[in-house]
Amino acid sequence: MSAPDRGQPAVGASGAPPARSPAGTSVSEQLQHALDRISRVRGVRGSMWVAAEDGIPVAQLLMEGVKGKAVAALAASLARKVSGAAAATGSGRVRFVQMEAAGGTLLVAPAAQDLLIVALADSRVNVGLARLEMIRAAEAALP
């Protein structure tokens, strides 16, 4: 697993002191901590926080060879389409999306502040565990 992409601006890292949660951890630390937990699940090749609106990565933890920008853009676009279809079926707001393919799985969980948590995994992934970690992160209150 490669180090988090330092080229991407982390939330709260803009020159001013990073925003801190009541527990005393910065927002970017919280985001990275969530990615750490998700990426420890067997089969996960990378996880990231993505701006839902424009598909830009906010923070990421990826294995070598995973194209972060492409994953972010495609996951955001897919999530938008699936949300539209869910609305058309009267199913309400989408909480979790899983796209299964022959060579792996893409997981997306919408979170607060117009963010998505995205995970790319190979076919050995324990989807149930990854889902739990992602939904837990998505539901964790962001300041």
Residues near another protein (CB under 8 A) are 67, 70-71, 74-75, 77-78, 81-82, 84-106, 120
The two tokens of residue 65 are 């060879």
Closest by Cα among 78, 109, 74, 106 to 94: 109
Q: Give the nearer residue to another protein in terms of CB position, either 27 or 138.
A: 138
- Judged by CB, which is closer to another protein: 13, or 56? 56
1 vs 94 by CB, closer to another protein: 94
Query: Closest approach of Cβ 55 to another protein, in Å?
Result: 11
Q: Report the distance separating Cα 78 and Cα 33, nearest Å.
A: 25
Least Å distance, CB 85 to another protein, is 4
Shortest distance (Å) from residue 103 CB to another protein: 4
Nearer to another protein, 6 or 93 (CB): 93
Give CA angle at 38 (42, 30), nearest 5°.
155
Cβ closest to another protein, residue 14 vs residue 77: 77
CB of 51 to another protein, least distance (A): 17
The C-alpha angle 117, 92, 51, rounded to 5 degrees, equals: 25
CA–CA gap between residue 19 and residue 76 (Å, rounded): 25
User: How far is it, in rounded angstroms, from Cα 138 to Cα 111?
Assistant: 4
Give the Cα separation of 10 and 46 in Å (integer). Answer: 16
Please report how close the Cβ of residue 68 comes to another protein at its closest, in angstroms: 11
Q: Which amino acid appears at position 37 of this protein? A: R
